[in-house]
C-alpha cells in the first residue's frame, strides 16, 4: 500500500467519534436508556437539537453519533458513560494507548478543533479497522439513513454525512471528518 505523510499529526474532526463509539459500544447495551442532559443545547458544531430531558436508547444515540455525526449525541454519551466530559476524554486517551495509537490525543468526544486533539492517518486507519469489527459500529457506519425516536415519541431523521455511502458500491462503511483547522477532510472505513 502507498502512504504519504501517514504519521503527520493533523486535526481529525468528527473521526474522533469513532473512539467515542468504541468506548460506548464496548461498555453498554444498545437498549439502555439515556436522558438528554440539561445544557446540551449549547453544544456547538453539527447537532441534532436533541431535547433536554428526552430519553433515547444507547443504540439510537450511537446512530446519531455515527450517521449524521451529531456533536450533541457525542456529548450526551460521554456524560452518560463517565459523568463528565473530562473523565470521558481521559478514558479516550487511555484507550488510544491500549490500541497502540501512539500519535493520537483527544480533547473532546465530538472532534471539535482543539490544540490538544490530533492524530495521524496511520492511527485513524488502525482505529477504524478496530472499530469496524464491532457489529454495532459497522452497521451504523454502513447505514445511509434511518429514523430514531425518543421514548416520548419525537422522531429524528438521520442522513449519513458520507455522500458516497451506498452509491454504486463505492463505499460500504465509513465516517467523515471535516475540520476547519487545516481545511482537511478525512474519510475512514
The catalytic residue positions are: 14, 17, 69
H helix and E strand count, the chain: 6, 6
Q: Is 14 exposed, middle or buried (0-12, 13-18, 19+ CB in 10 A)?
A: buried
Nearest partner of 104 among 84, 77, 126, judged by Cα: 126
* Residues near 110 by beta carbon (within 8 Å), at least 6 away in sequence: 14, 16, 17, 20, 43, 45, 71, 74, 75
The owner of cell 463517565 is 82
Nearest partner of 71 among 94, 88, 49, judged by Cα: 49
157-187 as b/e, with b when 16 or more CB fall inside 10 Å? ebebbbeebbeeeebebbbbbbbebeeeebe
Amino acid at each position: 500500500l502507498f502512504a504519504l505523510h501517514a504519521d503527520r499529526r493533523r486535526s481529525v474532526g468528527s473521526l474522533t467519534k469513532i473512539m467515542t463509539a468504541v468506548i460506548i459500544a464496548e461498555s453498554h447495551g444498545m437498549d439502555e436508556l439515556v436522558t438528554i442532559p440539561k445544557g446540551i443545547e449549547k453544544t456547538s458544531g453539527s447537532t441534532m437539537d436533541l431535547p433536554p430531558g428526552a430519553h433515547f436508547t444507547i443504540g439510537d444515540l450511537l446512530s446519531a453519533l455515527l450517521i449524521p455525526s451529531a456533536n450533541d449525541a457525542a456529548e450526551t454519551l460521554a456524560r452518560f458513560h463517565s459523568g463528565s466530559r473530562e473523565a470521558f476524554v481521559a478514558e479516550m486517551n487511555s484507550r488510544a494507548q491500549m490500541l497502540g495509537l501512539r500519535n493520537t490525543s483527544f480533547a473532546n468526544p465530538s472532534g471539535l478543533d482543539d490544540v490538544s486533539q490530533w492524530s495521524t492517518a496511520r492511527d485513524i486507519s488502525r482505529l477504524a479497522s478496530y472499530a469496524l469489527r464491532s457489529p454495532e459500529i459497522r452497521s451504523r457506519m454502513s447505514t445511509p439513513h434511518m429514523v430514531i425516536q425518543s421514548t416520548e415519541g419525537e422522531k429524528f431523521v438521520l442522513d449519513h454525512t458520507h455522500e458516497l455511502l451506498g452509491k454504486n458500491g463505492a463505499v460500504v462503511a465509513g465516517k467523515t471528518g471535516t475540520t476547519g483547522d487545516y481545511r482537511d477532510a478525512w474519510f475512514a472505513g
